[in-house]
Structure 1
Amino acid sequence: MAAWIMLAGLAVEALLGWPDALDRRIGHPVRWFGWLVERAERLGNREAWSRSARVAMGGLVTMLLVALAGLIGLTIQLVLADGWVGFVLMALLASSLMAARSLHDHVADVASAFEGAGIEAARCTLGRIVGRETAELDEVAIARAAIESLAENTSDGVTAPLFWGALLGLPGLFAYKAINTLDSMIGHRNARYEAFGKVAARLDDLANLIPARLTGTLFTLCAGSGWAMKVMFRDAREHRSPNAGWPESAMAGALGIRLSGPRTYGAATSEEPWLNADAGDPDAADIRRALALYRRVVVAAALLLAALGWAHLP
């Protein structure tokens, strides 16, 4: 049943996304949870405390909020367990915690900005989806950042929610999104969050361990490229993230481009190693190629869910 719910949720999100009218009226479930994270951080992250105390408090907050999310998912699943109405409602809830369409649209907006209004518009559009400084980026750097964001977030926004939802039902899906949201809000390596968000960051690494590798494998298989597989296994571990390197290096190999490398976050420059270093740099047209591969991966994920669902039918 869980696999079918995830498949239906993926179909709803891929076709409709989260409607703007609904967003204006009630917001979005991830933002509701973000509100809780924000207030818990304000109460529990005190500069006057020692580092070990902040790590402990951050860990406690993280575990409580993840447990709360999982409990909410379990309660909803138990209440709606029977009948088609319950199935539809659970699929709709699941769809709100996926990002297949929204991720595609955000990256496609960067490509459209290039094609329609030029590099300044592309920089502005890219700035909405990446954390790095975009004001001085040229075409190559913009294309690289957009493709990297697409590759990494395929795991965070599509594969991982589907994986945990299919494995553990709504409790798994809700708990995963809680972990991912906590990491995005407090899992940063800076003075304010490094200690308080340490447990959240490590838990997110653990939760994405399998999905990131599965995503990279899907990229290579959907590209039909043995070279992409070779690049992934060779270069993934060079990435600063234990997980992001897998889908990013697979994408680099599949498209025949190099990704990662040095980049700027505010006033700081991060010297990252190249993925698929001997290949050429991407350009604006490669964003469209990456999106085409991404669409094939989403379809492949849907087929895997359908196969899993059929395998568990009585």
Structure 2
Amino acid sequence: MVEMYTYIWLFVSYYVRPIYKWFLRKTTGLCELQRICYGAVSGAPRVRAVEKSLGASRSPQIAQLIAHLNNVSDNHRFVGQNGREIVSGAVSTVLLVKRINPRVHFQFVKSFGHCIQQIWGYRQLLADVESLRTTTYDPDNVEHERKLMLLWEALRPDEMLASRITKQWQDIGFQGDDPKTDFRGMGLLGLENLLFFASEYGNGPASHVLSHSLHPVHGYAFAIVGINLTSMAWQLLRDGHAKTYVYNTCKAVPSVRVFHQFYCYLFYEFDRHWLACRPKSMMEFSDIKTKFESNVKASLQDPNNVFSIRLADTV
């Protein structure tokens, strides 16, 4: 039965869809990309629809364009003036292939260009985040050590570290006396996520969450949970669930900062979820995390969702 439905879907996609698109073009005077950019809500609904349309195109020129944009974003070259020129070139290619007059459809040029920024900016963001994840924390690297010290200062501004290796690290949720061993799974990305949360939201959400982690009954290991949430955020970015957040948040090419902000939202909301579950010990972490992740994925299914930390709740 499943195979039959798959066959029907493939048949419709391959034969019926082009006829339907041709019919709409003849009756509306607009190609599918124009209809999307003029009719779909801005943000994730529009960008994802454009992404799907481009991916389904049978045009060799469009396929070549997609391969070029993939190469650019995978090699971190979708930035600055180079990025703007690439967007302009991509728009020009589509205008030519689809026979669209830019003087008449100037709004399409703007909307479609923004979609190009988001789609391949997201792909570049994934490459940037993966580069951080695969960078091993190195205690001999001065910059890595500086960031670790900044993390301590942001979370414990009134307390000095007795030494580089000390049990004090356990006060902010590391497993042992030396945090470097806890970064193995997520590399430098785990540290940068924690540091961003502690630095950007130190006077509100971060201190709020840290205080909850120290609860005598329902507490948890702040740093270890944070690194686990880095893994969750990375998985959501990699499998495409995070597109809803990124496409609804960014006005330009997404940067790693956007990923950090997404992580902060997850950490803050996980803390709320954890306390609502009232666990008796960290042994319940896996089940609670699984349920939380399912809830996040369900929320991300709504293309109109915009996530943000509710600062009023931290007062």
TM-score by length of 2: 0.32
Whose radius of gyration is greater, 1 or 2? 2
Using structure 1 for the length normalisation, give the TM-score: 0.32
